[in-house]
Amino acid sequence: DTGVSQDPRHKITKRGQNVTFRCDPISEHNRLYWYRQTLGQGPEFLTYFQNEAQLEKSRLLSDRFSAERPKGSFSTLEIQRTEQGDSAMYLCASNPQGRATYNEQFFGPGTRLTVL
Amino acid sequence: AQTVTQSQPEMSVQEAETVTLSCTYDTSESDYYLFWYKQPPSRQMILVIRQEAYKQQNATENRFSVNFQKAAKSFSLKISDSQLGDAAMYFCALTKRGGGSNYKLTFGKGTLLTVNP
């Protein structure tokens, strides 16, 4: 399967701990997005990478959040000093560059974070 | 700023019947794409259908079709001959078409579709 993968699928942590999630996009996709989805809501944009460059961050991404995409391949999203309000599904999506793509994004299965 | 509104938190349909999910949106972009994504329980989000705003013809994909009313900023999804596998959360989403490279999606809150046998 060559789809978008995310690891771990589930993470339970205690308040104040740091967590890191990983996303592996489809290999030829140079654009990568992180979204957060809370219960009963649609996904909300967090940040965007084109290759290794982080080109946009949402105001939702507080100073406790950091994302990287070294070498323009996989990406990591770290949350420091987790709070209960960080509990959500974190989704990763990717798409390739090119006019024929219709800007469709391909989503991973998500990482469900529970902060106790 | 872009907004997407789905006014139906839940819908239900009998198997083999037709159901329509509503979506309205607002954007300052002159050209954009609209999408319907399906998110089955505990499974990843997949694209159901897309519509280019510059095209007047409504998109269709097998049993799925849209009613795109650009002036009214309305984009509804019709599912014909509903199947049990159609049960899922459906999200309407919007992104710009040109200008820059960040094609982030703006989603509605979703409509939970139940299909009754």
Cβ-defined contact of B109 to A42 (cutoff 8 Å): yes
> Over the stretch B15-56, which tens digit does the pLDDT of each residue have?
999 999 999 999 988 889 999 999 998 788 999 999 999 988
Beta bridge partners of B24: B5, B74
**Which residues contact residue B108 at a Cβ distance below 8 angstroms, ignoring those fewer than 6 apart?**
A42, B4, B5, B6, B23, B91, B92, B93
Note whether A98 contacts B: Cβ–Cβ < 8 A: no
> Over the stretch B87-117, which tens digit does the pLDDT of each residue have?
999 999 999 877 667 789 999 999 999 999 9
Note whether B3 contacts A: Cβ–Cβ < 8 A: no
> How far A59 CA lies from chain B's nearest CA (Å)?
13
Residue in B102, B106, B107 closest to A56 by CB: B102
Mean pLDDT, rounded, for A66-87:
95
Residue B37 with chain A: CB contacts under 8 Å: 107
Residue A96 with chain B: CB contacts under 8 Å: none
> What is the DSSP pairing of strand A10-13 with strand A111-115?
parallel
Residue A95 with chain B: CB contacts under 8 Å: 103
Distance CA A6, CA A20 (A): 11
Please give the pLDDT value at position A100.
55
Residue A76 has pLDDT above 70, yes or no: yes
Interface contacts A/B by beta carbons within 8 Å? 60
The answer for A81, left when phi > 0, alpha when psi is -120 to 50, beta otherwise, is left
Please state whether the peptide bond connecting residue A109 to the residue before it is cis, i.e. omega within 30 degrees of 0. no
Beta bridge partners of A13: A115
R_g of chain B computed on alpha carbons? 14
Hey, what amino acid is at B5?
A: T
- Choice between A72 and A82, residue whose per-residue pLDDT is larger: A82
Task: Give chain A's mean pLDDT.
Answer: 92
Distance CA B21, CA B90 (A): 8
Residue A89 with chain B: CB contacts under 8 Å: none
Distance CA B65, CA B46 (A): 16
Cβ-defined contact of A56 to B104 (cutoff 8 Å): yes
